[in-house]
Amino acid sequence: MIVKTEFQKTIGLIAIGLGLSMFCFSCATAPSRPEEGARGPRVEGSEVQKETPPPTPEPAPAPPLKTQTAPEKPTPAVQEPPPPPVKVTKPQPVFYMHTVKHGGETLSIIALWYTGNHGNWKEIAQANPDMKPNRIFPGNEILIPEGLLKTRDPLPKEFVDRINSKANKERGKPKAQTVQPQQEEPKLFGPKKTTPR
């Protein structure tokens, strides 16, 4: 005994259905023929036209076959090269140049005169990296940043002497000694003496 699979059964049913439908379709479209013995009345003077069968319907056009075409690759967009980077130039710092003329000038005295604050000597030292702050001699040129300037008048000798004399007086003063209060001598303690009774 041969067992048919579901697939074979389905194919068979489809084939039978197609055969029946084709038979029914051909019967429906076949022209009917009149019987030979039965003729209609004849009318004179008019031409008898033969009956023409109705036109057979044309089969519906088959749907176009779909062909797979390779997907078109999108054309790459033309990219313009990026613009060259803009060079940002920092503004160059502007300096005032002081030439040391007097003995005893220090960076803190120069900073005090030109900027109004002796603490600005650090910024002046940074503006002059080749100079040693504790070694300033007449003839040295010192750059002072414009942003710190309060005056452009040249540094007078009297100002240098006055600052140095104040510094010398402060160095000459004896340092105030803090007097510590005298402490009492600590009491000694030890074993207690007992007296006999």
The pLDDT-based confidence of 20 (bands split at 50, 70, 90) is confident
* CA max distance for the chain: 190
pLDDT over 70 (residue 188): no
> Which tens digit of pLDDT belongs to each residue from 160-175?
999 888 887 777 666 5
Least Cα distance to 114 among 83, 162, 152 occurs for 152
pLDDT over 70 (residue 30): no
The residue with greater pLDDT, 122 or 35, is 122
3-class DSSP assignment, residue 145? strand
Q: Give the pLDDT mean for 34-42.
A: 52
Please provide the average confidence, as pLDDT, over all residues in the chain.
76
Q: Which of 10-24, 65-79, 109-123, 182-196 has the lowest mean pLDDT?
A: 65-79
50: Cβ contacts below 8 Å, ≥ 6 apart: none
CB 141 within 8 A of CB 98: yes
Count of C-beta atoms within a 10 Å radius of residue 107:
21
